A and B are shown apart, each in its own frame.
Chain A
Amino acid sequence: MKISFRINGTQQTVDVADENTPLLWVVRDILDLKGTKFGCGKAACGACTLHVDGEAVRSCSYAVKFAEGKAVTTIEGLGDKENPHPVQQAWIEEVVPQCGYCQPGFMMATAALLDKNPKPTDDDIDKNIINVCRCGTYYRMRKAIHRAAELTPTKDETETQNS
């Protein structure tokens, strides 16, 4: 069965035997984007978080068929080495990762939050960033989320830059 969607800006068509295959495995094993991680397989930890049409989605429990015609973004498409996304920049500045395994999921969840809520309060962060990190990097993560909010150009600034 063929399913088509955009991923990190490129149109892709994948051929899967089962349309209910989790998007996570398609992204990792067919499209070879390994930054999105398998943690629990039941949407309980968030290590597999990516964006589908800008929404944070736990891809281990999201059937690939639902991605048809949509735009998927993974950590590899969030920014690049020369131009890291503000969330990635903040993560570097605050030295957030320890083992690093869960971090792409947290960064994707954060980027989706900031897109909707550019200046989240601590309470907003508590309610929206509910992934699991066993190394306990949450303390630095919270600082990094606020830092990312500072680093994110507001819509006005973006328009000025583009004009």
Chain B
Amino acid sequence: MSNLNNRKSSRSFNRRQFLKSSSGVALFIGVSGLLPTVVSCRDQKRVEEQFQKHEVTAWVQISEDGQITIYNPAAEMGQGSMTALPIIFAEEMDADWSKVNVEFSPQEAEIYGGEGWAPGTKLMFTVGSRTTNSYYSTLRRAGAQARYVLLSSAAAHWNVPIEELITIEGNVVHEASNQKIEYGQLVRFLTMPESIPDFNEGGLKDPKDFRLIGSIIPRTEIPEKVNGSAQFAIDIRLPEMIYGVLERGNLHGAKPTLQNEEEILAMDGVLKLVPFDYGIGIVATTLEGALSAKKALKIEWSDAQASGFNSQEIYASYEDILAEDKTGDVRNEIGDFNKASSSATKTYEADFKNDYVYHAQMEPLNAIVQVSEDLKKAEVWVGSQQGSDTKLGIPSLLGIGHEDVTVHLQYLGGGFGRRSMSDFVVECGTLAKEMAPRPVKLLWTREDDVTYGCYRPLTLQRLKACTDSQGNLTGFSHVVVGDGGHLVAGGARNDHYQITNQWLEWRSASHGVRLKHWRAVGHGPNKFAIEAMLDEIAYEQGQDPIALRRKLMTNQSPRALATLEKAAEMADWDAFLPENRAKGVAFVEHGSMGTGICEISVNRETGKIRVHKFWIALDAGVVVQPDNVKAQMEGGIIMGMSSVLSEQLTVVDGKIQQSNYHDYKLLRMQDVPDSIETEILPSAEHPEGVGETATPMVAGAIANAFLRLTGKRLRHIPFTPERVLEVLNT
């Protein structure tokens, strides 16, 4: 395996590479309360020793020429972690940002993990919009400790009290003696103080003094993404590398029986066939060879649980589930909805539906795995959102220790939840184990990815509401029917609306179709149902939708209310609109919270909805990268529009009906709004995630605008032209 360790690791930070190339010092800043250690990078033995102690963390390396390398522990899938996290560290370190380089940290959760789901646990997992939120405090403290080491070293060097020293953008300054030294020049004088504050209780910068956090800083990886040199896992080619593909069919869970094994094995370049429970793996010397063999496979597929399942007919059976007298999983209960409903002046009821959607990340799933000849070590090159197992399932596949697997994280050509699964990595490991020690690159074709995808579940949602004699909303009930458990029931609480009686329940269905988190998960369908229901009530009452929400938020959530008022102001909500134009509003919280307003028109001949403008007012706490937050809002709105107006994944007799971008249609340039404006409300609160707040606004805002424009209700995502015409003609 030594030959593997010595190979230049692609982009990712490799310990041995670090030792070979480093000058200057590495600051090992403990995140678990241990004292930090300063180690000269020339003292390779000490550095190696420090790396072997998993209790310490090297967040930063400073070299004598002043260059600073900061390590990013999160996946980079376009959300900006490669810039946001280093900015947080550099802010407290008071580094000169122009001298900062950023690299991925090693994939070692014990060292680099952020806060896990359970208290005291650590996790490297770029999901749930948690990147900035989960690392903010850790990186501030680590950056402050790095600065403290620099200050104390300068104090010793100049023989002055540390209290008299300040830092100014990459320099330590002693004003009394008019001395100044750059961080890089301090490297040879660095010493470890006897004690160092943990910065748990104060000592960090006052947010009003932030110089980097909250300013417009170009994303560090933009230049390479513009000149074509940005490397994704699919771009990596290792010596002796061979290629793997799988045929998985389009009926999830069906078992294959291969009919022509000998014929396939005789094909040019085919090295091995590897059976899986759900598919046939092929390894060949070239990708083209593997794909040709895949096409030539003759497979008989068994039936599976999904056999007979038709996605567009399933809603009727969901209505039967709703009619059952059996309560499902109660997810939230406040007051007594039934009581409120029985004494209400008026009651409302509506059903909302959403079809399956597919992730459609642009880089097809792929990975490279190399297993050592003795099957005791492995290396993985992959674009992954990481996972609860930072080694992505390879240790348990091979029955080896976590320390025996090295993961080289690459840029992700899109994640959206699909790359938070490691199924494709384990598949690749399975092939690589058979072919050890040759590295195997596994590629999913686009067809593989669409037909054997993991979709956002379809659901049926029954909403009921009731009002008192003054028209106040006194009760709200939301029952979700669908497959996928927490995937369908998330995001349906109403914590920012004052409604004294609430009921939230999930009733399960099961179809054997693969499901997975898709950007914002349950928030997409559930916020749609909630926000559309509120507007249906407002419409019947003749009440303004903003006024209705204002009433619900005023005593409940001043922060939510502030986003509502700001969005209404931005959109000039009450302004006169030309004919065939209307505005609609929706509120969403997903970590951060925001109100979105869109302006639409409808072509009544074709049924096509056009979104002309979108305004978003967002409260995300402290915002590290404001321009990037805007980019996330813009992208989130457009991905939301794509899923709400166009995308549809259907299943007939268990078989996925779409196969590629020609029949799974994503939104393109021509459908993008003329303007998408975002305003970020100032806040000193802890940062909250922004990646999944905009997407769930879209369906509600569009349906609500449509209702105000036409008096008709859109209750089934996607709002394809055919469905819109159907609704218009009722």
Contacts and interface: CB of A to CB of B under 8 A. Distances in A.
Contacts of A21: 288
A26 to B, nearest CB: 11
A74 interface: yes
B636 interface: yes
A42 B447 CA distance: 10
A141 B221 contact: no
Contacts of A136: 634-639, 642, 667
Contacts of B673: 139
B285 to A, nearest CB: 11
A101 B364 CA distance: 10
B682 interface: no
B115 interface: no
Interface in B642-687: 642, 660-662, 666-670, 672-673, 676
A139 B676 contact: yes
Contact of A139 (B221, B416, B638): B638
A56 interface: no
B669 A101 contact: no
B560 interface: no
Interface string A70-102: 000011101111001000100110011111111
Given A103-B226, A104-B228, A125-B669, A95 B219 contact: yes
A135 interface: yes
Interface of B: 77-79, 218-219, 221-223, 225-232, 234-235, 237, 287-288, 360-364, 411-416, 445-447, 627-628, 631, 634-639, 642, 660-662, 666-670, 672-673, 676
Interface in A18-69: 18, 21, 25, 28-29, 32-42, 44-45, 47
A101 B627 contact: no
A25 B287 CA distance: 9
A39 B446 contact: yes
The 9 closest A-B pairs by CB, nearest first: A35-B228, A136-B638, A98-B78, A101-B413, A100-B225, A99-B78, A75-B228, A126-B670, A136-B635
Given A101-B362, A138-B669, A44 B662 contact: yes
Nearest to A139: B634
A96 to B, nearest CB: 8
A130 interface: yes
Contact of A137 (B228, B361, B635): B635
Nearest to B666: A132
A126 B669 contact: yes
Among A45, A78, A136, which residue has the most Cβ atoms of chain B within 10 A?
A: A136
Given A135-B78, A137-B635, A139-B672, A100 B660 contact: no
B288 A97 contact: no
A116 interface: no
A138 B412 CA distance: 19
B412 A99 contact: yes
A99 B414 contact: yes
Q: Most chain-A CB neighbours within 10 Å: which of B237, B445, B631, B662?
A: B631
A37 B631 CA distance: 23
Given A45-B661, A101-B413, A95 B634 contact: no
Interface of A: 18, 21, 25, 28-29, 32-42, 44-45, 47, 74-76, 78-81, 84, 88, 91-92, 95-104, 107, 125-127, 129-142
Nearest to B627: A95
Given A25-B288, A99-B413, A103-B226, A39 B637 contact: no
15 contacts: A37-B232, A37-B363, A38-B234, A41-B446, A42-B446, A44-B662, A95-B218, A99-B78, A100-B225, A103-B225, A132-B666, A135-B639, A136-B667, A140-B631, A141-B669
Contact of A99 (B234, B362, B364, B637): B362
A131 B669 CA distance: 8
B81 to A, nearest CB: 12
Contacts of B361: 99, 134
B635 A135 contact: yes
Contact of A98 (B227, B234, B635, B669): B635
A139 B221 CA distance: 20
A131 B668 CA distance: 7
Contact of A40 (B234, B446, B631, B668): B446
Looking at chain A's contact residues, the main secondary structure is loop
B637 A100 contact: no
A130 B668 CA distance: 6
Nearest to A105: B362
A42 B446 CA distance: 9
Contact of A81 (B225, B227, B360, B642): B227
Given A81-B223, A95-B219, A130-B668, A47 B662 contact: no
B662 A39 contact: no
A107 B635 contact: no
A140 B229 contact: no
Contacts of B78: 97-100, 135
A82 B225 CA distance: 15
Contacts of A79: 227
Contacts of B446: 39-42, 45
A9 to B, nearest CB: 15
Nearest to A22: B288
B363 A84 contact: no
B672 A39 contact: no
A140 B228 CA distance: 18
A107 B227 CA distance: 10
Contacts of A74: 228
Contacts of B666: 132, 134
Given A41-B446, A95-B627, A139-B634, A133 B225 contact: no
A32 B231 CA distance: 12
Contacts of B230: 100
B637 A44 contact: no
A97 B221 CA distance: 9
Given A101-B362, A103-B225, A139-B673, A42 B660 contact: yes
A132 B364 contact: no
Contacts of A29: 237, 287
Given A79-B227, A88-B227, A142 B362 contact: no
Most chain A C-beta atoms within 10 Å of own C-beta, residue among B235, B362, B445: B362
Nearest to B236: A34
Contacts of B642: 136
Given A45-B446, A95-B218, A134-B666, 14 more contacts: A18-B288, A33-B228, A37-B413, A45-B661, A76-B228, A84-B227, A95-B628, A100-B230, A125-B669, A127-B670, A131-B668, A136-B634, A136-B635, A136-B637
A97 B231 contact: no
A143 B577 CA distance: 26
Contacts of B661: 39-40, 42, 44-45, 132
